[in-house]
Chain A
């Protein structure tokens, strides 16, 4: 079974600084997809960024980028120029190529200090 591990329950970052959220996963599949979701206090799940395992290039979406290390099964999220609105719970998620279910990590609560 696939597992997703987010070992840090909480992190804090100063506004305008950069923060990295870590995530590791375990799978025996070669074709899969990885995601980072944001859940603000409204509890609406929002897709931040996604990465296809077959792509070597790290995904980037504006201030958000990932460091995808396939051999190490690591998928960290970097948030640059942190803003107050980035404060939320962040979930790393895995989806196998042949299985449409999403497997979520435990999540990390990110706070942004003004």
Chain B
């Protein structure tokens, strides 16, 4: 199957700083990638849909100025948590689908555990 690589797997940052998380499709081009947030023992909450070459579409309640998404190429999307605070500590997961309307399966990155101290 297709591989989605997410980096870093763990990051600790100080409150007030920014942190960038990368999501790469290693063996396919992904015109659309998705960013999720997951709290312990809870479900995945979609934060935004990242579209290559255009602005991301954010879900209701997600601060677009805080969670900056850039999808500059067909294989890379980045999520930057700006001015991070302890409440931003969470597990962030990206996913991508193979191009084409016939593609059904979403492939997920390994996730990034963000801890803001």
Q: Which residues of A line the B interface, CB within 8 A?
A: 33, 35, 42-45, 47, 50, 52, 89, 91, 95, 100-107, 109
| A101-B110 CB under 8 A given contacts A50-B105, A106-B42 | no
Q: What would 10 A/B residue contacts be, using CB atoms closer than 8 Å?
A: A43-B110, A43-B111, A44-B110, A44-B111, A45-B95, A50-B105, A100-B97, A102-B46, A104-B44, A109-B41
Closest to A50 in B: B104
Whether B34 and A106, one on each chain, are in contact in the complex, defined by CB atoms closer than 8 angstroms, is no
Closest to A91 in B: B43
CB distance from B35 to the nearest CB of A (A): 12
Closest to A92 in B: B43
Closest 4 CB pairs of A and B: A45-B108, A104-B43, A106-B43, A43-B111
CB distance from A97 to the nearest CB of B (A): 9
Contacts of A102 in B (CB 8 A): 34, 46, 95, 106
Q: CA–CA, A45 to B91, complex, Å?
A: 12
Tell me if B25 is interfacial: C-beta within 8 Å of chain A. no
CB distance from A74 to the nearest CB of B (A): 19
Contacts of B23 in A (CB 8 A): none
Tell me if B114 is interfacial: C-beta within 8 Å of chain A. no
User: Which chain B residues (27-49) contact chain A, with CB distance < 8 Å?
Assistant: 32, 34, 38, 41-44, 46, 49
Q: Which residues of B line the A interface, CB within 8 A?
A: 32, 34, 38, 41-44, 46, 49, 91, 93, 95, 97, 104-106, 108, 110-111
CB distance from A109 to the nearest CB of B (A): 7
CB distance from A91 to the nearest CB of B (A): 6
CB distance from A17 to the nearest CB of B (A): 24
CB distance from A95 to the nearest CB of B (A): 8
Q: CA–CA, A95 to B49, complex, Å?
A: 14
Whether A44 and B108, one on each chain, are in contact in the complex, defined by CB atoms closer than 8 angstroms, is yes
11 new A-B contacts, CB < 8 A, other than A43-B93, A47-B105, A101-B46, are A44-B108, A44-B111, A50-B105, A89-B41, A91-B43, A100-B49, A100-B97, A101-B34, A102-B34, A102-B46, A107-B41
